[in-house]
Amino acid sequence: MTHLEPHYRMTPPDRLPAKEKQPVHAVLHNVRSAFNVGSIFRTADAGAVTRLHLCGYTACPPNAKLQKTALGAFDYVPWTHHETLADCINHLRSEAIPIAAIERVEDSVPHTRYEWPRPVAVVFGNEVKGLTREELDAVDTVVSIPMLGHKNTINVATAFGIVLFDILRRWQAV
């Protein structure tokens, strides 16, 4: 019996046709779970994100757990590791990219009412602690996802998917 290689392994990235990137930079700060990071890589590929910025102790490729949920997507999504979130913010500022933290705090704007700038950088935080007040104060805006149930927050990879596809829909890219 012949076992076919999964499709994601069949075409090396340098042999893929060039795809237009969307001017979205996604920043993950201290996201502990490699499974969450892998899932975000996969969604970032689906939305043609320009670059993933992996800050602090966020898992970076190569990593077996990350590979499991990314299913090879990190070959297609450019990424950079920054020692600190401040380093990353300085880099984005040097490129004049507006920065929105994604966090559910009192002074945040619901994503349904936020006019996403283009380009944009969106910052996501740790699964337990989220982003600190100091980190939120270092960006331009704080945007939240409305919660209609009993819990205050959702999984960070799910939050990433909601935000990314809201941006793309508003830009009429999807």
Residue (87 or 127) nearer to ligand SAM, CB = 127
Our finding on whether 102 is near ligand SAM (CB under 6 A) is yes
Q: How far is the CB of 172 from ligand SAM (least distance, A)?
A: 23
Q: How far is the CB of 128 from ligand SAM (least distance, A)?
A: 6
For 112-139, the DSSP string reads GG----SSEEEEE-BTTTB--HHHHHTS
Residue 20's SS3 state is coil
Q: How far is the CB of 94 from ligand SAM (least distance, A)?
A: 23
Our finding on whether 131 is near ligand SAM (CB under 6 A) is yes
Q: Which of 26, 117, 120, 111 is nearest to 74 (CA)?
A: 26
Q: Which residue is nearest to ligand SAM (CB)?
A: 130
Helices (H), 11-155: 34-46, 64-70, 85-94, 133-137
Cα 78–Cα 84–Cα 85 angle in degrees, nearest 5: 75
Q: Which stretch binds ligand SAM (CB under 6 A): 10-18, 59-67, 76-84, 121-129?
A: 121-129
Residue (76 or 143) nearer to ligand SAM, CB = 143
- Torsion, Cα 7 8 14 17, to 10 degrees, reads 60
Residues binding ligand SAM (CB under 6 A): 102-104, 124-125, 127-128, 130-131, 144-145, 147, 152-154, 156, 159
